[in-house]
Amino acid sequence: MSKYLPLWPDQASTMASQVDLLYIYLLLVAGVMTALIFLAVTVLAIKYRRRPGVAAHQIEGSTILELGWSIIPFFVMLTFFIWGAVIFFQERTPPADATEVYVVAKQWMWKIEHIEGQHEINELHVPTGQNIKLIMTSQDVIHSFYIPAFRLKQDVLPGRYTTLWFKATVPGRYHLFCAEYCGTMHSGMGGDIVVMKPEDYALWMAGGSSTPLAENGRALFSSLGCSTCHRSDVKGRGPDLAGIYDKPVQLDDGRTVIADDNYVRESILDPTAKIVSGFKPVMPAFQGIVTDEQLNALVAYVKSLSQPAQGSAALQNAPATSPGQPEVQ
């Protein structure tokens, strides 16, 4: 939009223009419908007004006319749903090649964890032309991750993950807001999305020292004693986690679930919620023992075990722990 008439924020993602076009279409249809209604009211008020010496008479309705003004607007309004549904499913279906970034919301800040290990607070650096998938959770209350320039908003909930993806198109600094009232400092819970050219982003990513999130998860997996039960051989008291991510899991109650992020998260915090078929509920709950950041690292590690050339080799190489440490199923 022209800088001389800024009716809405800049368009800085691939989805922004589609959302704007739908919004413009809604305004145009609403404007046309409103104009037609006012025109009809005006014409009918003039044509059928009370006139001196002219007696009123009954006017029968027209079935064709009544069907027309009911059916035609119905199909016009139905286009709102169809177009909106297309955009909704595009926004809620991250591409398979999306780079994952973990977001932890708390009163009143956004904590960002890149899969490569970089950490940020109230800022998120991303490159142009790359699909980014945000995996988000809250430490306390409901928040809402809102980027006006990307035309994207997603609630961030305590106790589970929600996701959001985008592809930034224009370098710059764009505002990040919390769009859900979350307490007295809600209005101050903001930040910036810093969109960089790929070469500048590579330099930023290379600056400083950091450990990949999955590596942190691997160390935590070992220190918590998880590797004593989750083994790649048949001797483990817990299921082999290599290759399990995003695959169907048979439960002891007969159900089948997909081992996605929320399943892995729940299995760590409340392992008795969904017991894997063939195993006993011997794993202790880690609710209140691991932080959200540590939980993200553990989830990232489990996901890394499903990547090529890692899997069981990573599990086998995980350091052993003493028998006195907690067992994890």
Lowest mean pLDDT among 66-80, 95-109, 309-323: 309-323
**Same structural domain, 205 and 245:** no
Sequence-separated (6 or more) residues with CB below 8 Å from residue 62:
none
Sign of the torsion angle spanned by Cα atoms 31, 35, 36, 41 = positive
Tell me whether residue 130 is exposed, middle or buried, using C-beta atoms within 10 angstroms of its C-beta: 0 to 12, 13 to 18, 19 or more.
middle
Would 49 be classed as within a structural domain? Answer: no
Count CA atoms within 13 Å of residue 74 on its CB side. Answer: 6
Strand order across the beta sheet in which 99-106 lies: 119-121, 109-114, 99-106, 131-138, 162-167
Specify the pLDDT at position 311.
37
**Same structural domain, 279 and 247:** yes
Task: Kindly report whether the peptide bond that precedes residue 108 is cis, defined as omega within 30 degrees of 0.
Answer: yes
Q: What share of the chain is helix, strand, coil (3-state, %, to 5)?
A: 35, 20, 40
| Other CB atoms within 10 A of residue 221 CB | 25
Sequence-separated (6 or more) residues with CB below 8 Å from residue 124:
101, 103, 110, 112, 176, 191, 192, 193, 194
* Averaged pLDDT for residues 131-150: 96
Identify the CATH number of the domain in which residue 132 sits.
2.60.40.420
Given 176, 209, 242, the domain boundary residue is 209
User: pLDDT tens across 35-91, in order?
Assistant: 999 999 999 899 888 888 788 778 787 889 889 989 999 999 999 999 999 999 999
Specify the pLDDT at position 231.
79
**Same structural domain, 168 and 303:** no
- Residue scoring higher pLDDT (316 or 45): 45
Specify the pLDDT at position 316.
40
**Same structural domain, 113 and 229:** no
**Same structural domain, 217 and 261:** yes
**Same structural domain, 273 and 157:** no
Distance in angstroms (rounded) separating the CA atoms of residues 249 and 232:
16
Q: Kindly report the average pLDDT of the chain as a whole number.
A: 87
Q: What's the number of domains the chain is made of? A: 2
**Same structural domain, 146 and 239:** no
Q: Is the pLDDT of residue 313 over 60?
A: no
**Same structural domain, 253 and 170:** no
Given 144, 176, 209, the domain boundary residue is 209
The structure tokens listed for 320 are 């052993």
The structure tokens listed for 304 are 């890394």
- Tell me the pairing of strands 123-127 and 109-114: unpaired
**Same structural domain, 203 and 228:** no
**Same structural domain, 35 and 151:** yes
Distance in angstroms (rounded) separating the CA atoms of residues 15 and 149:
10
Distance in angstroms (rounded) separating the CA atoms of residues 1 and 6:
6
- C-alpha distances (whole Å) from 6 to each of 2, 17, 313, 321 are 6, 15, 55, 61
Given 209, 244, 263, the domain boundary residue is 209
What global pTM score does this model have?
0.82
Query: Which DSSP state fits 1?
Result: -
Domain that holds residue 92: 1-43+64-209
